[in-house]
């Protein structure tokens, strides 16, 4: 079950990364109308798939968050990343 969920999310990520302008259009329903005029100014989305995710990325973020006080203590994230299969780019 987990593999299927991750694969579905990875497929969505590959599509979003390949079609950033289209992906930004979907923001409208999640943002207040006051922000709609700025949507085109947002940077293009770029997400990592499970195949591209690495423990080191999240350990580095957690360390930074600890250093600036977002989290109160260090978190051991070693081995926390699930790695799915690499998918081909969406058309």
Q: Any idea where the domains of the chain sit in the sequence?
A: 2-46, 52-82
- Determine the length of the chain: 91
Query: What mean pLDDT is predicted for residues 8-15?
Result: 94
Whether this model's pTM surpasses 0.75: no
Token pair of 89, please?
A: 């780019």
Of 7, 85, 8, nearest in space to 51 by CA? 85
Q: Quick check: 24 and 45 in contact, CB under 8 A? A: yes
Alpha-carbon distance 76 to 12, whole Å?
Answer: 29
Q: Which pLDDT tens digit goes with each residue over 32-84?
A: 999 999 999 999 988 999 999 999 999 999 999 999 999 999 989 888 888 87
């Amino acid at each position: 079950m987990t593999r299927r969920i991750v694969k579905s999310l990875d497929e969505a990520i590959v599509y979003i990364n390949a079609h950033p302008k289209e992906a930004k259009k979907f923001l409208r329903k999640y943002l207040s109308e006051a922000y709609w005029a700025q949507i085109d100014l947002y940077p293009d989305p770029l997400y990592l798939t499970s195949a591209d995710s690495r423990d080191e990325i999240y350990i580095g973020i957690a360390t930074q968050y600890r250093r600036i006080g977002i989290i109160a203590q260090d978190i051991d994230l070693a081995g926390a990343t699930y790695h799915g299969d690499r998918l081909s780019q969406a058309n």
